[in-house]
Amino acid sequence: MRSSFAKSIYLGAAVLGLAGLSAVTTTTTTASAKSYATAGSYTALTKGQNVLVNGTHAIYSKPGTVKGAKVVASKKTVAKLAASKKSNDTFYAYGTKTTNRGSVYYKIVTMDKKYRGYIYGGKTAGAFAGGIKTTDTLTTVANPARTTGYYLKDVSKHTLWTAPKNTDIHAKKVSLYGVAKTDPFTVDKAATKTKEGSLYYHVTDSKNSSISGWIYVGKGYDTTITDNTKQDLGGLTLSYSDVALTNDNSVTVVYNGTGKRSVFVSTSKDAKKGKLVANAKNAAGQTLSEFVKSSAPAGYRVVGAYTNGAQYGNNVYVNVTEAATSKVQLRVDSVENNKVAINHPLVAGGKLNSNELSAKMNTALLSGDKGTAYTKHELNVIAISLARQGQTGKGTANTIQGTVPYHASNGTVYHYEFTLNYKAFVFDNRIAHYGDTLVASYKANLVKGAPKTPAYNTDWIA
């Protein structure tokens, strides 16, 4: 009896002990259960942004701390994308979701659409922190010394794009319907892909200005190469001609004092040695007078070309002078932020970036004879050209819209509008000569709303 009683006591104690352990275990499991964040509604960015990943955060199907989020690209994969030297591995950010913990996640996609998902971007919408940072996919470079007389070489290999491929998520091929193989193109912009460093020209059909786009150009035009057939121009060429050069259809242009010669080849069926060239044109659609100017040696401009009496089979001698081209440094004269706190506001006295405002410039106004001083009239004309975006009258101080978005802490988008100080421009550059850097001062005024005006060609900005 005693033994049986003792056993029952030990057994009861054991059962109670297991029950107690079970209770503790259950409580511990409940306390350690993962607590997920919740995400707010999706918000599309007013203006998409090209970004780079830095390899510190993975990409998820949902904000990473939300229940059900799956890995789209691991940190290891993202690190490889961050180190990539290919533009197709650049990302485009186009939307956000913010969790109840204040974390901002950006919806991003690679240029080749291979990876798409959410990545942590910091605690402030529009700041692009955390696992991403903003980037420029193109780097502006100077236009080539020669800007006219280019032809499309082989559009099956290199054709025109609205933006170099993989530098803009919306880039697409340009329709070349109606473009003849004899159509000459003019270069108005040049840039390199930021990742690869490959060179592209933005060209426009000289016979149809509605046809324009970016094209890969190899090493680009080289002024040290005298044989144009040896230029490395990627999808462009300088040597197109339907007509073989003969003594009956050509004129040799000699640029005095430079050692350079160029040959004009007429497409006229009536061309014959000794006959006047008159208004005959070459395959590029240029008259002899136009050809003489466009083929001038780099760093020179034509000051005397006697082409009226030019004859086939003879030479035309052309006087040239050393040319100098100025650039313009854009500065902030004063800033009015209207009591709004934004990221990286402009500061009075600072220099404006080349892509900050949409000012146009007739670049021909900046070129003249080397060593020649600008006149007051010339400076006034340049000032008007600088502000002709929205120009309503000569000397009117018009506003020019900025092209860069700024963000307040609440995510509201702003941009600056700029007003040129005409009087200051003429006074500040009163002793400038062609080739000097001119200074243009603007008043910057912050206004609500995203910028809508694209930047123009900015080669002329210092």
State pLDDT tens for residues 308-344.
899 999 999 999 988 888 999 999 999 999 999 999 8
Tell me which residue of 88, 34, 83 sits closest to 55, measured CA to CA.
83
State pLDDT tens for residues 107-125.
999 999 999 999 999 999 8
Please, which residues bridge with residue 50 across strands? 92
Instruction: Please state the φ and ψ torsions of residue 445, each to the nearest 5 degrees.
Output: -125, 120
- pLDDT for the residue 16: 35
What CA–CA distance (Å, rounded) separates 59 from 377?
Answer: 58
Tell me which residue of 159, 141, 184 sits closest to 235, measured CA to CA.
159
Instruction: Please state the φ and ψ torsions of residue 229, each to the nearest 5 degrees.
Output: -70, -10
- pLDDT for the residue 392: 38
Percent over 70 (pLDDT), the chain = 87
What CA–CA distance (Å, rounded) separates 319 from 197?
Answer: 38
Q: Which CATH number fits domain 138-237: 1.10.540.10, 3.40.640.10, 2.40.30.170, 2.30.30.170?
A: 2.30.30.170
What CA–CA distance (Å, rounded) separates 131 from 127?
Answer: 11
Instruction: Please state the φ and ψ torsions of residue 210, each to the nearest 5 degrees.
Output: -75, -15
- pLDDT for the residue 133: 94
Tokens read off for 443: 């008043």
- pLDDT for the residue 323: 85
Tokens read off for 363: 């670049």
pTM (global) more than 0.85? no
- pLDDT for the residue 296: 85
Given the structure tokens 């350690």, which residue do they identify?
A: 32
Given the structure tokens 């014959």, which residue do they identify?
A: 272
- pLDDT for the residue 123: 93
219 close to 225: Cβ distance less than 8 angstroms: no
Neighbours of 318 (CB within 10 A): 24
CA neighbours closer than 13 Å in the CB half-sphere of residue 11: 6
Please, which residues bridge with residue 351 across strands? 331
**Cβ neighbours of residue 440 under 8 Å, at least 6 residues apart?**
328, 329, 330, 331, 383, 386, 420, 425
**Cβ neighbours of residue 326 under 8 Å, at least 6 residues apart?**
366, 367, 432, 434, 435, 436, 437, 438
Tell me which residue of 266, 217, 218 sits closest to 241, measured CA to CA.
266
User: Which amino acid, one-letter code, is at 403?
Assistant: T
Q: Which residues of the chain have pLDDT under 70?
A: 1-34, 240-244, 305, 387-398, 453-457
Compute the radius of gyration of the chain from its Cα atoms.
33
3-state secondary structure of 4: helix
- pLDDT for the residue 34: 67
What CA–CA distance (Å, rounded) separates 139 from 201?
Answer: 12
- pLDDT for the residue 454: 62
- pLDDT for the residue 348: 92
3-state secondary structure of 10: helix
Q: Tell me whether residue 260 is exposed, middle or buried, using C-beta atoms within 10 angstroms of its C-beta: 0 to 12, 13 to 18, 19 or more.
A: middle
- pLDDT for the residue 389: 53
Tokens read off for 166: 């993989």
Pairing between β-strand 327-336 and β-strand 437-448 as defined by DSSP bridges: parallel
Beta-sheet strand order (sheet of 59-60):
71-73, 59-60, 116-120, 104-110, 91-98, 43-53, 132-134
**Cβ neighbours of residue 412 under 8 Å, at least 6 residues apart?**
448
- pLDDT for the residue 455: 57
Tell me which residue of 42, 44, 134 sits closest to 90, measured CA to CA.
134
Q: Where are the beta strands (DSSP E) in 246-387?
A: 250-255, 260-265, 300-305, 315-325, 327-336, 367-369
Instruction: Please state the φ and ψ torsions of residue 293, each to the nearest 5 degrees.
Output: -70, -45
What CA–CA distance (Å, rounded) separates 252 from 84?
Answer: 50
